Structure 1
């Protein structure tokens, strides 16, 4: 079977396809046998070949790519167990792929968790907003509040799990994840806020202070809202009302006439 696996991998590489998408005729040609001989050696079905390829540490394909399946599986596990409860074995089992495939795609657990944050965190929306920012300062602040509130409420709840790990383990995987993504977050926020500083619309405070004054209230509110709603009921403003209040408060604190 090893020679057939090698032939299948060679044919897939040559055609730029997953093994599962390569016709048996092409695999037979690469193996130097006829199609009927190949089928006979496989017991009449290519399922045995796909399984042998999988056992060799390569996903034969024919399904969603390993990266997509692993990111989805890891995100569900993070929501269920937190970042600390994630192992590559558990992700491989949930995603239906091999450990070597995960290592090849993500280069370890931190790489996988970073991809999960990329897919379910605020970065894509932040960069899209920075690429086409609102003209008015108030609209920019309001859009940022909505963006981060949506990221915190997004299911599966990856961003709250990241904060939970940060608070409990300052040197844990969430800290490494945030360190890896921090330059992009700072760049996106800077492209949105610094033009208003340069135009004299925002006080020239250090960038970390501007960001903390902005995001601190919404992070605190959204994380605590599931606890506050049962206790306060109608006394708790809606999310949209809260965002308007935070926008007004931020502008009163840092905007210049």
Structure 2
């Protein structure tokens, strides 16, 4: 192959995208992400994580090899990415169909045809950028190893807070400021069961298996997420306090994971 691929896109992903396009008889830009992931032998969430949440890098990498990826991405893909950028920069209030249409270079009518309305677009953005699938993968890969699962949990959560577009930090910031905001309530109704339902089931299973102390799973979730959430809320201010040395992210994740295990894992696990 000629040219150089984007640093985040390895040659195997480019080749998988081209094979998937040939198999489906479509341009690369029109091949669903899930089909490319299947061709590459990885999960959809893993592929999106490697691409930084957007397929633009993949299309650019394909183009750099001399293969034309095709025209613009479908309206659905452009709208989801545009909506994520708007939420990251302006919060949920910035997610209007008019604003999304302007950024995605499409019509408001096409958004209604594709999604049905703002709420459905919001759901699609949450499904794309929420950590739910990544957390499920980290827990499944631990294969019953509680310590490995807890460390994986913190790594996924840290990645969620730091990667662009910064959807989760924007939602948390707005939820702290406007707890009854219509968008926040809708997010809780839709995303809550998908995210916290999986965590609740996993933690309850660990309690039943005798690996975790028998506390309400809601408190266990608070104990797991609270320290890292506070770390990210405090860090932007703490960086400007003279003489204060802040732990780096890797160290923070390790310390928080070990602290949780010491507090709640039963002896012998």
Using the size of structure 1 for normalisation, the TM-score is 0.71
Task: State how 1:57-76 maps to structure 2 within 5 Å.
Answer: 62-76=71-85
* Corresponding residue of 2:152: 143
Judge conservation of contact 2:238–2:244 (CA < 8 Å) in 1.
no
* Corresponding residue of 1:78: 87
In angstroms, what is the RMSD of aligned CA positions? 2.4
Q: Deviations over 1:106-145 (max 9, x none)?
A: 2222222222222222122123224433432121111111
Judge conservation of contact 1:84–1:165 (CA < 8 Å) in 2.
no
Following superposition, the deviation at residue 232 of structure 1 comes to 5.9
Find 1:225's aligned residue among 232, 235, 244: 235
Gaps of 5+ in 2: 1-25, 31-69
* Corresponding residue of 2:197: 187
Q: 1:140 is paired with a residue of what secondary structure?
A: helix
Task: State how 1:1-257 maps to structure 2 within 5 Å.
Answer: 62-172=71-181, 173-231=183-241, 235-257=245-267
Q: Given the superposition, is the C-alpha separation of residues 212 and 251 from structure 1 closer, same or farther in structure 2, using an over 3 Å criterion?
A: same
CA distance in 2, matches of 1:226, 1:119: 26
Following superposition, the deviation at residue 149 of structure 1 comes to 1.1
Gaps of 5+ in 1: 1-16, 22-60
CA distance in 2, matches of 1:233, 1:112: 45
Following superposition, the deviation at residue 234 of structure 1 comes to 6.9
Judge conservation of contact 1:200–1:256 (CA < 8 Å) in 2.
yes
| Deviation >6 Å, runs of 4+ | none
Q: Given the superposition, is the C-alpha separation of residues 189 and 145 from structure 1 closer, same or farther in structure 2, using an over 3 Å criterion?
A: same
Q: Between Structure 1 and Structure 2, how many residues are aligned?
A: 201
Structure ID, larger Rg = 1
Using the size of structure 2 for normalisation, the TM-score is 0.68
CA distance in 2, matches of 1:196, 1:251: 12
Following superposition, the deviation at residue 171 of structure 1 comes to 2.5
Q: Deviations over 1:75-99 (max 9, x none)?
A: 1112221211221101101101111
CA distance in 1, matches of 2:233, 2:116: 31
